[in-house]
């Protein structure tokens, strides 16, 4: 990967103003956003003979060594396979990978649990801290020929028009990039999507999710628990730890209540969480930082069109409760990369070529997006009929082998 730092640093200087206006930088593909989806996609294009510019708002140091962001990403077997094929898997330290052997879903104070075990497999999936996935993907992209990184720059404007190369991206420092294809990987609140005039169905849920690591007395046994309690949802995720006494604690509440939790001292926070967990874990101690994420789900009206494509959260912003966001993002970027490679020298920005990505990724995403949203509605509705319905749903789910098979296939596929 070539860094364009020297050249673009000069763009801000007076003598280069004219140069910056007239000398557009030309690439086959401009990827906006070096999050996990943008990085994975860039890597998937290795060997395709395409020049790629990767534009990212964060600076290079933050990409090379991303800070812990609280997210522990549950990865399916398919995602593990994909990370291996991208040469990223071996760059994630083995001691930071936590096996997921069983998942339990609990409803309120009911002792009943819907459980999913690994069956014949050794594990349902794995949990890996998000920043380590980002770091591993950055490492593989860093050595990739044909890739130019423009870090510490944000996209100011972005249009697709005229004949190829149709894409024109102007950065906040005035640099202009021309590309046959613009790929938006700039999060569920994608500015590029807006600039390109792509509509989005966005549901701001008014709730936030707080994530942090906590030490506790009980061993977690590599079991993940999703507990839909009244007015709060709690997930306890097993973190890799030799004594199995560290979990990622994920709590979803109304946004102001999360803000209150964030303000508590570490000691007061531990006391409050023990109260909220109602004895499920004791001896709680906060390890490291707390992170809050406002919850919004998004579904883009289009995933691709003439000269552009959307990947990762920019295409589909899943509710994190079913842990599908990045798994789906990985799948989508693989689909898009295959479509571009199969164009074999044809126009990679043409709507005709990109239609296959649009169709295939929509088909793969729609059931997961709708299914997850239905689950969230069922489990967060507080009316007595809704509470009855979810108790019944859990029991029916546990008793229905095909249902459990489908859910398990989703977890382990
Ligand atoms: C609490 C939590 C738990 C989760 N757990 C799971 C899980 O268990 N399993 C799972 O599969 N998924 C999970 N997810 C979802 C997963 O984190 C996301 O799907 C994933 O991070 C999306 O990656 P992305 O690259 O599309 O977007 P992002 O990670 O949002 O990255 C977008 C990048 O674009 C950059 N950017 C934005 N705008 C611009 C601009 N204008 N110019 C330049 N750069 C820009 C940003 O700096 C950022 O680096 C979870 C999410 C949360 C919040």
Q: Is the CB of 71 under 6 A from ligand 1?
A: yes
Tens-level pLDDT at each residue, the chain (413 residues): 766 544 333 333 333 433 344 478 999 999 999 999 999 999 999 999 999 999 999 999 999 999 999 999 999 999 999 999 999 999 999 999 999 999 998 888 887 888 888 877 889 999 999 999 999 999 999 989 999 999 999 999 999 998 878 999 999 999 999 999 999 999 999 999 999 999 999 999 999 999 999 999 999 999 999 998 888 999 999 999 999 999 999 999 999 999 999 999 999 999 999 999 998 999 999 999 999 999 999 999 999 999 999 999 999 999 998 889 999 999 999 999 999 999 987 899 999 999 999 999 999 999 999 988 988 888 777 777 777 777 777 676 666 665 566 555 555 55
Closest ligand 1 atom to 209 CA: 1
Residue 91 domain-assigned? no
- Of 30, 33, 77, the one to substitute when testing ligand 1's pocket (max ligand atoms within 8 A of C-beta) is 33
| Ligand 1, atom 39: closest residue by C-alpha | 186
Ligand 1 centre to CA of 343 (Å) is 28
Whether the CB of 325 sits within 6 Å of ligand 1 = yes
Residues 292 and 393 in one domain: yes
Query: Residues 219, 206: contact at Cβ < 8 Å?
Result: no
**Co-location of 344 and 255 in the same domain:** no
Q: Distance between CA 16 and CA 155 in Å, rounded?
A: 20
Query: Are 342 and 353 in a shared domain?
Result: yes
Q: Are residues 40 and 20 in the same domain?
A: yes
Are 216 and 348 contained in the same domain?
no
Per-residue tokens: 369: 């997006």
CATH code, domain carrying 229: 3.30.9.10
For residue 35, what are the domain limits? 2-69+133-202+298-375
- In a shared domain, residues 356 and 399: no
CB of 131 within 6 A of ligand 1: the answer is: no
Residue among 31, 42, 149 at smallest CA distance from 88? 42
CA-wise closest residue to 293 among 228, 230, 210: 210
Contact 287, 215 (CB under 8 A): yes
Task: Count helices and strands (H / E) in the chain.
Answer: 13, 20
Cβ–Cβ < 8 Å for 169, 177: yes
Atom 47 of ligand 1: nearest residue by CA position: 57
Answer yes or no: do 198 and 209 share one domain: no
Query: Which atom number of ligand 1 is nearest to the Cα of residue 63?
Result: 49
Distance between Cα 313 and ligand 1 center (Å): 6
The Cα 218–Cα 238 span in angstroms is 11
Phi, psi of 374 (to 5 degrees): -65, -40
How many beta carbons lie within 10 A of that of residue 49, not counting itself? 11
Question: What is the domain count for the chain?
Answer: 2
**Angle between helix 384-399 and 401-412 (nearest 10):** 90
**Which atom in ligand 1 lies closest to the alpha carbon of residue 55?**
43
Q: Do 121 and 139 fall into the same domain?
A: no
């Amino acid at each position: 990967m070539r860094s364009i730092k020297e050249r673009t640093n000069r763009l801000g200087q007076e003598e280069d103003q004219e140069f910056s206006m007239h000398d557009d930088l030309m690439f086959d593909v401009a990827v906006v956003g070096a999050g996990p989806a943008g990085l994975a996609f860039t890597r998937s294009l290795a060997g395709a003979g395409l020049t790629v510019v990767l534009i990212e708002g964060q600076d290079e140091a933050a990409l090379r060594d991303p800070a812990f962001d609280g997210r522990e990403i549950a990865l399916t077997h398919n995602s593990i396979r994909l990370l291996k094929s991208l040469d990223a898997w071996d760059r994630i330290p083995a001691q930071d990978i936590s096996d997921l052997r069983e998942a339990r879903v609990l409803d309120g104070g009911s002792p009943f649990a819907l459980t999913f075990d690994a069956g014949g497999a050794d594990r349902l999936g794995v949990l890996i801290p998000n920043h380590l996935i980002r770091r591993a993907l950055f490492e593989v992209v860093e050595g990739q020929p044909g890739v130019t990184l423009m870090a510490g720059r944000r996209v100011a404007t972005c249009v697709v028009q005229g004949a190829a190369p149709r894409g024109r991206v102007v950065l906040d420092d005035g640099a202009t990039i021309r590309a046959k294809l613009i790929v938006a990987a700039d999060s569920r609140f994608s500015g590029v999507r807006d600039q390109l005039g792509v509509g989005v169905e966005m549901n701001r849920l008014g709730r936030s999710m707080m994530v942090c690591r906590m030490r506790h007395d009980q061993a977690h046994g590599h079991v993940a628990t999703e507990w839909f309690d009244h007015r709060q949802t709690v997930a306890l995720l097993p973190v890799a730890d030799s004594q199995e006494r560290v979990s990622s604690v994920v709590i979803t509440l109304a946004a102001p209540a999360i803000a209150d939790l964030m303000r508590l001292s570490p000691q007061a926070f531990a006391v409050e969480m023990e109260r909220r967990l109602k004895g499920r874990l004791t001896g709680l101690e906060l390890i490291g930082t707390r992170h809050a994420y406002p919850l919004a789900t998004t579904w883009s009206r289009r995933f691709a069109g003439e000269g552009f494509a959307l990947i990762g959260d920019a295409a589909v912003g899943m509710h994190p409760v079913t842990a599908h966001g990045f798994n789906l993002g990985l799948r989508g970027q693989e689909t898009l990369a295959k479509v571009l490679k199969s164009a074999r020298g044809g126009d990679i920005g043409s709507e005709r070529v990109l239609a296959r990505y649009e169709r295939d990724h929509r088909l793969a995403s729609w059931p997961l997006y709708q299914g997850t949203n239905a689950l969230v509605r069922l489990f967060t509705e507080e009316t007595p009929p809704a509470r009855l319905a979810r108790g019944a749903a859990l029991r029916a789910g546990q008793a229905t082998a095909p249902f459990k098979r489908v859910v398990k296939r989703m977890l382990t596929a």
